[in-house]
């Protein structure tokens, strides 16, 4: 019944409170909201899928035939062959002998079913694309929101191989293939050409065979036919779609190495896959908009987008394409920034040289530069090498005012100290300053007061000298 019926009528065989098997339980969320116990219920039959084979369990409810009680099922596991439904009593009571309607949560099972069938399709695609690797399954997880598949693979998978694996899975979905399942004697099932099974796993006899696209009855008539290698045929007790189109779409959102020779793929189907596609299109539009930006605005967007792209749950291959385009934009911006800073540095030094050469007898210079950063540092270096001059440089640096002063030793001895000079300017442009007698720097926020700061710097130097 777990493969076909949404609800079944069952009889309670036992109630387990974690230590003992009482005949009944009456403490429910409605009567004991703070201490309603977690209990286990054993039924004579069940349609719930118990956690096994990498697939997460069903959740749902057990409702009494007279509707007087409801038990919420949060977990289903197998213990020594017994399927235990674990959860809590929502209202009413539950006792041995009760007849209940066992109902699993369809909205949870459907995406799990999609993802389990997707692991089978993925397994086949890996074998077809990574032919030289001969990948073997090493583990899996089938959850409502994703699937995880671990497999042997010695070398990193190329982006183009990821693209082909994903495309092959989506072709299987578009082909709307029938999914067949049947219990087959183990000895007969092992004869099927190309059949996949997890190495070391112990399978029951008879064993359930799941085939995507090939009728199992046809397979059993000619099990040695090499053609079966082109189909996904596996031993599996999990829940599956009836047709591959139920999966809607398949997207690989992560591919990585988890151990030497073992790689992992995480993928999504259905609604999660559609959301991944929508996010990818949104990010593609954002990258497109970067081409029209320049300067500080582009710099801000590049830093923001870098933080958004890396963790984005989108197709690994599509992310590779977006990252390639983004890296190209970032490189061009960085190259342009380097060139602009080099030009600004040269212009700043040339500006200082020209002013000093035109005024050889002048001891103090207060100059507004076209840029801060390296340009200001190199201008300061030029003055420092002159030994007997003093200069104050001020520049607008985005939303801030950057300033730096250099004072030669002869002028320090006459009373002009860089640290005090910088303090005078900081009182006008705000922010902080610091340094020593021969050199000081500062950064403020009052960009509109830069002219006032220049006048103050000039006046301060005149008074000190």
pLDDT at site 371? 85
Q: To the nearest whole number, what is the mean pLDDT of the chain? A: 94
Please state, in angstroms and rounded to a whole number, the distance separating the CA atoms of residues 463 and 99. Answer: 100
Please state, in angstroms and rounded to a whole number, the distance separating the CA atoms of residues 121 and 153. Answer: 18
The rounded radius of gyration (Å) of the Cα atoms in the chain is 36
Better-scored residue on pLDDT, 197 or 162: 162
pLDDT at site 218? 96
pLDDT at site 1? 66
Report, as an integer, the average pLDDT of 24-40. 93
pLDDT higher than threshold 90 for residue 440: yes
Q: At 71, is the pLDDT very low, low, confident or very high (cuts 50, 70, 90)?
A: very high
Lowest mean pLDDT among 35-44, 73-82, 344-353: 344-353
pLDDT at site 139? 92
Q: At 392, is the pLDDT very low, low, confident or very high (cuts 50, 70, 90)?
A: very high
pLDDT at site 199? 64
pLDDT higher than threshold 70 for residue 450: yes
pLDDT at site 41? 98
Please state, in angstroms and rounded to a whole number, the distance separating the CA atoms of residues 66 and 70. Answer: 10
- To which residue do tokens 């929502």 refer? 90
pLDDT at site 50? 96
pLDDT higher than threshold 70 for residue 33: yes
As beta bridge partners, residue 188 has none
106-146, pLDDT tens digit by residue?
A: 999 999 999 999 999 999 999 999 998 889 999 999 999 99
pTM (2 decimals)?
0.82
Task: Give long-range contacts, CB 8 A cutoff, 24+ apart: 242-245.
Answer: 242/178, 242/179, 243/176, 243/177, 243/178, 243/179, 244/117, 244/121, 244/172, 244/173, 244/175, 244/176, 244/177, 244/179, 244/212, 244/213, 245/173, 245/174, 245/176
Report, as an integer, the average pLDDT of 393-421. 94
pLDDT higher than threshold 90 for residue 347: no
As beta bridge partners, residue 209 has 182, 235
Q: At 344, is the pLDDT very low, low, confident or very high (cuts 50, 70, 90)?
A: confident
pLDDT higher than threshold 80 for residue 5: no
Per DSSP bridges, beta strands 70-79 and 99-104 are unpaired
Lowest mean pLDDT among 1-10, 53-62, 297-306, 351-360: 1-10
Percentage of the chain modeled with pLDDT above 90 = 85
Neighbouring CB atoms inside 10 A of 52's CB total 13
3-state helix, strand, coil in the chain (%, to 5): 40, 30, 30
Structure tokens belonging to residue 203? 């399978």
Please state, in angstroms and rounded to a whole number, the distance separating the CA atoms of residues 213 and 211. Answer: 6
197-243, pLDDT tens digit by residue?
A: 876 678 899 999 999 999 999 999 999 999 999 999 999 999 999 99
Q: What is the DSSP string of 423-436?
A: HHHHHHH-SEEEE-
């Amino acid at each position: 019944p777990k493969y076909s019926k949404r609800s079944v009528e069952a009889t309670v065989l036992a109630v387990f409170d974690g230590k003992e098997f009482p005949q009944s339980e009456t403490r429910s969320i409605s009567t004991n909201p703070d201490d309603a116990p977690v209990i286990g219920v054993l039924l004579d039959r069940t349609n719930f899928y118990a956690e096994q084979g990498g697939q997460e369990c069903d959740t749902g409810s057990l409702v009494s035939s007279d509707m007087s009680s409801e038990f919420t099922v949060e977990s289903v596991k197998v213990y020594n062959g017994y399927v235990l439904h674990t959860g809590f009593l929502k209202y009413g009571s539950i006792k041995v002998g009760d007849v209940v309607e066992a109902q699993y949560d369809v909205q949870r099972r459907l995406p799990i079913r999609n993802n389990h069938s997707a692991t089978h399709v993925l397994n086949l695609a890996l074998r077809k694309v990574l032919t030289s690797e001969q990948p073997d399954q090493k583990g899996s997880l089938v959850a409502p929101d994703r699937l995880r598949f671990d497999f042997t693979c010695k070398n990193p998978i190329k982006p183009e191989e990821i693209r082909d694996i994903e495309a092959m899975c989506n072709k299987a979905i578009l082909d709307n293939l029938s999914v067949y399942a049947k219990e087959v004697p183990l000895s007969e099932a092992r004869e099927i050409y190309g059949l996949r099974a997890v190495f070391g796993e112990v399978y029951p006899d008879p064993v359930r065979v799941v085939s995507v696209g090939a009728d199992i009855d046809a397979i059993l008539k000619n099990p040695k036919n090499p053609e079966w290698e082109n189909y996904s045929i596996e031993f599996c007790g999990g829940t599956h779609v009836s047709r591959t189109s139920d999966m809607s779409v398949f997207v690989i959102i992560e591919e990585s190495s988890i151990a030497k020779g073992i790689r992992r793929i995480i993928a999504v189907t259905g609604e999660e896959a559609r959301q991944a596609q929508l996010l990818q299109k949104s990010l593609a539009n954002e990258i497109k908009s970067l081409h029209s930006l320049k300067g500080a605005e582009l710099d801000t967007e590049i830093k923001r987008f870098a933080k958004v792209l890396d963790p984005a749950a989108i197709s690994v291959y599509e992310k590779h394409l977006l990252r390639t385009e983004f890296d190209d934009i970032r490189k061009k911006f960085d190259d342009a920034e380097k060139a602009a800073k080099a030009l600004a540095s040269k212009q700043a030094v040339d500006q200082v040289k020209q002013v000093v050469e035109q005024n050889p007898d002048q001891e103090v210079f207060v100059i507004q530069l076209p840029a801060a950063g390296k340009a200001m540092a190199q201008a300061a270096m030029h003055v420092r090498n002159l030994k007997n001059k003093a200069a104050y440089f001020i520049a607008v640096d985005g939303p801030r005012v950057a300033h730096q002063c250099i004072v030669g030793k002869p002028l320090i001895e006459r009373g002009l100290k860089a640290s005090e000079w910088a303090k005078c300017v900081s009182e006008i442009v705000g922010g902080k300053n610091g340094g020593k007698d021969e050199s000081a720097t500062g950064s403020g926020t009052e960009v509109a007061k830069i002219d006032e700061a220049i006048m103050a710097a000039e006046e301060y130097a005149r008074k000190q000298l």
